[in-house]
Amino acid sequence: MKRSILSLSCILILLLSTSFHAKDEWTPLLDKNLSKWRIYQSFRHKPGYKGQAPKDENGNLVKPVGYDINEENEFSTIDANGELILKIGGPIYGCMFTKQEFGNYDLKLKMKWGDKKWVPRMDEVKDSGVLYHSIGECGVEYWRTWMLSQEFQVTEGGMGDYWTQASSMSDVKARKEGKDYFFDNNGTLTAFGNGTGHGGFCHAGTDVEKKGDWNDIELITYGDKAIRIVNGQVVMALSNSRYTVGNETKPLVKGKLQLQCEAAEVFYKDIKIKQIDGIPAKYAAYFK
């Protein structure tokens, strides 16, 4: 009898260990208290900003707001008929960033624009972004706000565009139209970022944004490769994710996630992540 009970226990343990691998489970990243995130805020930027350290009227350097302050309540959650929604928006550039680092994952979230904008975006399209493989301290790039990272652009008319942050770089199959580059899986593999000679920006291959509605954003990243999907459609594939320190190039394949506050109101919900053991087979052709 004892042997039967022991055998049954072993079987149950085996079933549990093989049926519920972490890589198969979605982990929610959003809760009411934003317990899995920290906050960083930098400055109230002005029109004409050119990357300089902001100064006051007396010419003294202005200190950034800093970490974990949430001035103007720019990062908050809303209960909308039982649905938890993250609200981001306000005049101070900043970000929420995860306490945990991630690598080799599938990230999904939904986003929708709000109505408000602040200086210096009053005459520009609304803008935000999902920054991934984020390492180091905040405030190291052009806007003195975000970490070194790769940016999945979230902006009106440009969902999935690529921006580098600080010294990050990546390779994209792209075609050139005038001075602009666009993702094209039949295009030429082109390096973007610090010192590449091609700038730090590439347009998504197509605009599939749902205007005035919720948009499904998905990022699949494994090793040095990434697939960006908007509303079910691949808008960019990237490879050879890396960054530079002095003259040394290093792989950039894991890090924290950042959600940008960039003087435009945006809402996010259903933020979840799971581990993966490779780029899904249906996307393999993007890396041939």
State the first-to-last Cα distance of the chain, in angstroms, to the nearest integer: 58
User: Can the peptide bond before residue 120 be classed as cis, meaning omega within 30 degrees of 0?
Assistant: yes
- CB 143, CB 41: distance < 8 Å: no
Which pLDDT value is given to residue 87?
Answer: 98
- CB 62, CB 43: distance < 8 Å: yes
Domain ranges, ordered by start, for the chain: 31-43+52-287
**Does 1.10.10.10 match the CATH number of domain 31-43+52-287?**
no
Global pTM value: 0.91
- Give the dihedral of Cα atoms 113, 118, 122, 126; nearest 10 deg: -20
DSSP states of 73-87: G-EEEEEETTEEEEE
Q: Bridge partners of 40?
A: 67, 95
Which pLDDT value is given to residue 282?
Answer: 97
pLDDT 10s digit of each residue in the chain, 288 long? Answer: 444 444 444 444 434 433 334 557 999 999 999 999 999 999 999 999 999 999 999 999 999 999 999 999 999 999 999 999 999 999 999 999 999 999 999 999 999 999 999 999 999 999 999 999 999 999 999 999 999 999 999 999 999 999 999 999 999 999 999 999 999 999 999 999 989 999 999 999 999 999 999 999 999 999 999 999 999 999 999 999 999 999 999 999 999 999 999 999 999 999 999 999 999 999 999 999
What CA–CA distance (Å, rounded) separates 42 from 54?
10
